Chain A
Amino acid sequence: KAGVTQTPRYLIKTRGQQVTLSCSPISGHRSVSWYQQTPGQGLQFLFEYFSETQRNKGNFPGRFSGRQFSNSRSEMNVSTLELGDSALYLCASSPSPTGYEQYFGPGTRLTVT
């Protein structure tokens, strides 16, 4: 089976712009989670989707949003980018509704200038 794929792999944006990142889970996995990784804060949970429903959201401002499509693919959007949004954004999928055993993609490196 193909692993979790994320596009694009690298992105450079300017402050104030918005960005959309995409994640395709492993075939058959319906749970998709997003995490932000920065040197200072480490890995922090953004949100989790299952069957197109957001079930949990981390402590991030409303500028961060996401959605999941009927084929389980997911997108996350960040509006009005700030310098502090520069990070590695990781997507994970799980074969279980409980999020049991998550498989991670390679990440999208976002740089905000």
Chain B
Amino acid sequence: KQEVTQIPAALSVPEGENLVLNCSFTDSAIYNLQWFRQDPGKGLTSLLLIQSSQREQTSGRLNASLDKSSGRSTLYIAASQPGDSATYLCAVLDSGGSNYKLTFGKGTLLTVNP
């Protein structure tokens, strides 16, 4: 059974700091990994998707890496801003069989202080 863990559970940083969020998963047989952002009481916004054959993806100030063999992914946020404050979730889509579901971590609550 796939399990996804995110560390840290919460992070508070001053504006302008670069930061790294971590995600680990127990079964390396994944199809892809997605990073999402969730604002309080809202739905999920997809930030980055990394296919299992890829090592990283970049979008603006965000960079996500994937090491499938070790079951790890990181989300790097450069020059953080107060508007980045949200919960960040990572999720994996398992490959093979008739799965079709995402398994989520519990998320990292990020607070960027002005």
Q: Chain A: interface secondary structure?
A: strand
User: CB of B69 within 8 A of chain A?
Assistant: no
User: CB of A33 within 8 A of chain B?
Assistant: yes
Q: Mark A87-107, 1 if CB is under 8 A from B, else 0.
A: 010101000001111111111
Say which residue of A42, A45, A58, A102 sits within 8 Å of B106 (CB atoms). Answer: A42
A35, A88, A92, A99 pick with most chain B CB within 10 angstroms: A99
In the complex, 9 of the A-B residue pairs with CB atoms within 8 angstroms, ordered by the A residue number, are: A42-B107, A58-B101, A92-B44, A92-B102, A100-B93, A102-B46, A106-B43, A107-B42, A107-B43
Extra contacts besides A42-B105, A100-B31 (15): CB < 8 Å: A4-B43, A33-B100, A35-B102, A35-B104, A43-B91, A45-B103, A56-B98, A99-B93, A99-B102, A100-B32, A101-B49, A102-B102, A103-B46, A107-B42, A107-B43
Which residues in B have some Cβ–Cβ distance to A below 8 Å?
31-32, 34, 36, 41-46, 49, 89, 91, 93, 98-107
